[in-house]
Amino acid sequence: MSILINENTKLLVQGITGRDGSFHAQKMKEYGTNVVGGVTPGKGGQEVAGIPVFNSVAEAKAKTGANTAVIYVPAKFAKDAMLEDIAAGIELIICITEGVPVTDMVEVSRELRKTKIRLIGPNCPGLISPGKSKVGIMPGHIHKAGPIGVVSRSGTLTYEVVDNLTRAGIGQSTCVGLGGDPIIGTRFIDVLELFEKDPDTKGIVMVGEIGGEDEQLAAKYIKQHIKKPMVGFIAGKTAPEGKRMGHAGAIISGGDTTAKAKVQALTDAGVHVVDFTDEIPSFFKNLL
Amino acid sequence: MKIHEYQAIQLFKNAGMPTPGGEVVSELAQGLTVANRLGYPVVLKSQVLVGGRGKAGGIKVVKNEIEFKEHFVRIRALKIKGYSVEKIFIVPAIEIKKEFYAAVAIDNIKGDVVLIASAEGGVEIEETAKTNPQAIKKYYMNGQKTIDPTRWPEFIGSVFPDASDQKAATDILQKLITVFFTQDCSLAEINPLVKDAKGNWFAADAKVNFDDNAAFRHPDLEVLRDISYEDSDETEAKNLSLSFVKMDGNVGCIVNGAGLAMATMDTIKLLGGEPANFLDVGGSSNPAKVLNALKIILRNKNVKSILINIFGGITRCDDIANGILQARKELNIQVPMAVRLIGTNEKEAKEILKTVNIVSHPTMRSAVEEAVRLAKKSVG
């Protein structure tokens, strides 16, 4: 099994006629993802790599039975693309677009709260259940089906971790890139819960970075709810401290956003935290 | 983008909020004219885009011209966290009766805009948040851009128990919320929000940060940018869609993605080297980006080796390889390089690199090890 996407995923690609949209629509299709349609307003009736293009998500959904959508539209149109998916009742939305204004995400979050729809991203690499479905921009060939769930706030750093696992012969159930923006649809805790419940996921890798308090919140959750073995990696130990201003951020989070604090929180929660990405496979080799 | 207090105060004033008035100056003679017009006592407030200016001696109430001259000259010569004071904001001193705190910000976890207010305003607000969190009240906007009349009375009453204060406070807070949304802020803060002895209200200090992702909606705000706070290389990199931060080491690095870039820097350090910079070429990189990145890195004379670590996703490795080729043609690169390209279009990239005898490292560790070794060899 896997989480969130599998062989039953029927995917729409929003922004399919753009440079990135068309390139990755083709890559996803080649990987074996069931890409049922694309959406670009005004370009309905065209085809991209043999994929039919529709004018709206509602029309595409009605004609193809799509249940998942991936967004490659420019930042200024990303909010409308997400709202269109929500209105059409798409079950899972993945927003790859980076640079979405935060107040736009506040609006999207408000609409999401009224539904059971899940959003991943924005500003994320997407997710992949190796051998079944790939929704996003990650290179498919570095993945291999297997028992390890990977969840990360980063894009390319996730690939690095996956590449190390695959080279060591350890496959992945699903790899999820959450995205690096302040407001994102899905956070560590959401994915950890899904991995814990998935019978085919035997171990979990969590990749965090400096800033925010998500790793600490995840650590609290792990302590109480996660029984599966976990490895952690935190990026940004050498990053220069940001110049901060104003007190609101500290008042809201109240937490320590440094790499050191995150490593400590995860270690205290029983996560095996490593310094190098290539130390991750050996932890699982002993277990599997 | 961060702006200075005097600019934020102007923004608040334009929105109809009560501010103490005042003027920003750079020169003593101008300052004296302003102070004479406002009448003593006045407050001299250094304008720097870093916190802690009060503790650094950058704020001073002066009672007369002699004190004004003394402290103006002193503050103007200050360096606060490495930044010199170029401008001083001169405002009339207010006879403070009560100080409050108010801010509109984003609560990332809740995905909502939150108004935060406290009757315990002033510089110790963060301390209050830790020691007496009940004194900090939060009002979530629930995705709306205006206050909800059914929930508002309870909130305003919890911060301003005195009924006579509630009308003025509501008016100011509503305007603060409006500024936050209309200008696409990531923070709009008043600290302190002051009630004076006569019962007048003032936004006595202001902090505003804008959401850079929304800059396309606000071309007019660009004039508020203080470029003296931006390293010229960092600004240039930004204009070229590169994310660059200079550091003290000697291993220059070009990486795609902030997470991998940070992990690469960490690995350099753990393997005995020192990173010279953070540089994220971002996604969808075209060959020109690599050329530009190399130009910026090579300007730093401390750089003794260059590490290119690319894991292609949306970035295509062949674009990067072509960029390396182009840079070798156009720039006279004397610094040795360690390259590792993997991921999307990696095969094509390796073919391209073969034409100039560059072999891509199979792993991040081996590429970092070589870059560190090359830097050390060059230092001797």
Catalytic (active-site) positions of A? 247
- CATH code 3.90.1150.10 for A11-120: no
| Chain A, chain B: beta-carbon pairs less than 8 Å apart | 207
| % of chain A at pLDDT higher than 90 | 85
- Write out the residue limits of the CATH 3.40.50.261 domain(s) in chain A: 126-285
Q: Considering all CA atoms of chain A, what is the largest pairwise distance in Å, rounded to the nearest integer?
A: 56
Q: Which of residues 158-197 of A touch B (CB under 8 A)?
A: 158-160, 163, 180, 182-183, 187
Q: Is B282 exposed, middle or buried (0-12, 13-18, 19+ CB in 10 A)?
A: middle
Selecting from A24, A103, A163 the residue whose C-beta is nearest the C-beta of B211 gives: A103
**Rounded CA separation A100/B117 (Å):** 28
Put simply, the answer to whether B189 touches A248 (Cβ < 8 Å) is yes
Residue B90 to residues B6, B14, B42, B64, B65, Cα–Cα distance (Å): 9, 19, 7, 13, 13
Selecting from A209, A212, A254 the residue whose C-beta is nearest the C-beta of B259 gives: A209
Q: List the beta bridge partners of residue B96.
A: B196
Selecting from B258, B263, B346 the residue whose C-beta is nearest the C-beta of A180 gives: B258
Q: List the beta bridge partners of residue A51.
A: A48
Selecting from A96, A139, A210 the residue whose C-beta is nearest the C-beta of B312 gives: A139
Report chain B residues whose CB lies below 8 A from the CB of A154.
257-260, 263
Residue B171 to residues A219, B166, B199, Cα–Cα distance (Å): 41, 8, 15
Put simply, the answer to whether A235 touches B283 (Cβ < 8 Å) is no
**Rounded CA separation B262/A242 (Å):** 14
Q: With a cut of 70, which residues of chain A have pLDDT below it?
A: 241-255, 288
Q: Which residue of A has its CA nearest to B121?
A: A247
**Crossing angle, helix A214-225 and helix A259-268, to 10 degrees?**
0
B101 is catalytic: yes
- The top-level CATH class assigned to A126-285 is alpha beta
A20/B contact by beta carbon, under 8 A: yes
Catalytic residue among B101, B139, B346, B370: B101
A125/B contact by beta carbon, under 8 A: yes
* Residue of B132, B119, B100 lying closest to B158 (CA atoms): B119
Put simply, the answer to whether A276 touches B365 (Cβ < 8 Å) is yes
- Write out the residue limits of the CATH 3.40.50.720 domain(s) in chain A: 11-120
**Rounded CA separation B262/A252 (Å):** 25
- Print pLDDT tens along chain B (380 aa): 899 999 999 999 999 999 999 999 999 999 999 999 999 999 999 999 888 898 899 999 999 999 999 999 999 999 998 889 999 999 999 999 999 999 999 999 999 999 999 998 776 787 888 888 899 999 999 999 999 999 999 999 999 999 989 999 999 999 999 999 999 999 999 999 999 999 999 999 999 999 999 999 999 998 898 877 777 777 787 778 888 888 899 999 999 988 999 999 999 999 999 999 999 988 766 888 899 999 999 999 999 999 999 998 878 899 999 999 999 999 888 899 999 999 989 999 999 999 999 999 999 999 999 999 999 988 76
Closest approach of chain A CAs to the CA of B145, in angstroms? 10
Q: Helix, strand or coil for residue B187? A: strand
What's the pLDDT tens digit per position in B74-92?
999 999 988 899 999 999 9
Residue A184 to residues A94, A97, A100, B113, B115, Cα–Cα distance (Å): 10, 12, 11, 14, 20
Put simply, the answer to whether B343 touches A154 (Cβ < 8 Å) is no
- pLDDT value, residue B175: 97
Which helix (H) or strand (E) element contains residue A48? strand A47-48
Report chain B residues whose CB lies below 8 A from the CB of A254.
129-130, 133
Interface residue of B53, B109, B120 to substitute, partner A, most A CBs within 10 Å = B109
Put simply, the answer to whether A110 touches B247 (Cβ < 8 Å) is no
**Rounded CA separation B248/A126 (Å):** 35
Q: Which residue has the tokens 């004033």?
A: B13
A237/B contact by beta carbon, under 8 A: yes
- pLDDT value, residue B332: 84
A26/B contact by beta carbon, under 8 A: no
B140 is catalytic: no
> What domains, with CATH codes, occur in chain B?
1-20+95-229 (3.30.470.20), 21-93 (3.30.1490.20), 231-379 (3.40.50.261)
**Rounded CA separation A35/A272 (Å):** 38
Report chain A residues whose CB lies below 8 A from the CB of B136.
251
What's the pLDDT tens digit per position in A260-277?
999 999 999 999 999 999
Put simply, the answer to whether A159 touches B311 (Cβ < 8 Å) is yes
Q: Which residue of A has its CA nearest to B49?
A: A245
A217/B contact by beta carbon, under 8 A: yes
